[in-house]
Amino acid sequence: MFDTIIIGCGPAAMSASIYLKNANKKVLIIEKNAPGGKILKTEKINNYLGFNEEDASTLAYKMYDQTNKLGIPIKIEKVIDVKDSIDKKIVTTDKNKYEAKTILIACGRVEKPLGIENEDKLNGHGVSYCVKCDASLYKDKIIAIVSNTIDDVLYLSDIASKVIFINNSNEIFSIKRDNIEVINNEKIIKINQKDNVISSITLSNNNEYNISCLFIETGYTPNIDFIKSLNIETKNNYIITDDEMRTNINGIYASGDIVYKKVYQIINAASEGALAALSIIKYLNKE
């Protein structure tokens, strides 16, 4: 039996695993894809303290390497169910069953894609799902954004030479900034590429716009299907925790992008992983 099973392998998960391992706890990480989480869907990182415009995959690897060197096992399996028993937690994957005293859910969230041609192919090559992460990489460039709100549009207008805002809501927007073009009642029907990098977008009115980047900010969906039987308290499908990253179920914790909060960034995900680990250590030491 493990002291803690961590579901997910992004910054929150790996940060927590390091704290737990250093406290001599038996830890297992289960991740359905490659270690790194949403970092792997970003091209460059330039807002994480201590790293100056780091290649995103390199940063993810450094986190993984630090975890791996501590001997923390990582299983590449898909979690399909978690059960809370009286004296243990049972995690069922598509390959195995595991038992632990505590669980940390840190499997993040996934973007709501547009579902159009070249979107997935150009992810990280001019298509981005995180304005705060990648906007500065396109300083003084022409940028397009499809969004339901204007907050990120205004943010981009201070960075880009021009922002083409494709309004994805039912509301009609009008923004009085010289470098913002608002397009209401139209959809992107195609993302065009040249040499495997985004070159332009085509709208439903057949107008084409040459751009350097397309930001897709239409919302996110937390990965919580596998915990529905637990009746964990959520809000808008995000897990609710207290200030020690505890859920409403004893011995089950959550951190990172799956948690209901205001800011979703690498730095606070890593911080929440540390908080969760310290809380778990305190819980285990009282047993």
Provide the number of structural domains found in the chain.
2
Statement to judge: residues 184 and 128 lie in one domain: yes
Q: Could you report the per-residue pLDDT of 173-208, keeping only the tens digit for each?
A: 889 999 999 999 999 999 999 999 999 999 999 999
Written as six digits, the tokens of 46 are: 């330039």
Statement to judge: residues 212 and 224 lie in one domain: no
Judged against a pLDDT cut of 70, whether residue 112 lies above it is answered with: yes
pLDDT value at residue 49: 80
Q: Which stretch of 39-48, 98-107, 219-228 has the lowest confidence by average pLDDT?
A: 39-48
Statement to judge: residues 135 and 259 lie in one domain: no
Statement to judge: residues 166 and 183 lie in one domain: yes
Judged against a pLDDT cut of 80, whether residue 16 lies above it is answered with: yes
Could you say which of 200, 217, 234 is where a domain stops? 217
Statement to judge: residues 95 and 224 lie in one domain: yes
Statement to judge: residues 61 and 98 lie in one domain: yes
Judged against a pLDDT cut of 80, whether residue 287 lies above it is answered with: no
Which residue did the predictor score with more confidence, 43 or 84?
A: 84
Statement to judge: residues 62 and 161 lie in one domain: no
Task: Look up the domain containing 180 and give its range.
Answer: 113-217
Q: How confident is the model at residue 214 (pLDDT cuts 50, 70, 90)?
A: very high
Could you say which of 196, 217, 238 is where a domain stops? 217
- Percent of the chain clearing pLDDT 70 (strictly above): 98
pLDDT value at residue 43: 65
pLDDT value at residue 51: 78
Statement to judge: residues 97 and 120 lie in one domain: no
Statement to judge: residues 173 and 257 lie in one domain: no
Q: How confident is the model at residue 42 (pLDDT cuts 50, 70, 90)?
A: low
Judged against a pLDDT cut of 90, whether residue 274 lies above it is answered with: yes
Judged against a pLDDT cut of 90, whether residue 256 lies above it is answered with: yes
> Rounded to an integer, what distance in angstroms lies between the CA atom of residue 12 and that of residue 32?
16
Statement to judge: residues 158 and 21 lie in one domain: no
CATH number, domain of 200, equals: 3.50.50.60
Q: How confident is the model at residue 220 (pLDDT cuts 50, 70, 90)?
A: confident
Statement to judge: residues 209 and 153 lie in one domain: yes
The whole-number average pLDDT for the span 140-154 is: 94
pLDDT value at residue 41: 61
Q: What's the whole-model pTM score?
A: 0.71
pLDDT value at residue 182: 96
Could you say which of 165, 191, 217 is where a domain stops? 217
Statement to judge: residues 189 and 271 lie in one domain: no
pLDDT value at residue 222: 85
pLDDT value at residue 280: 98
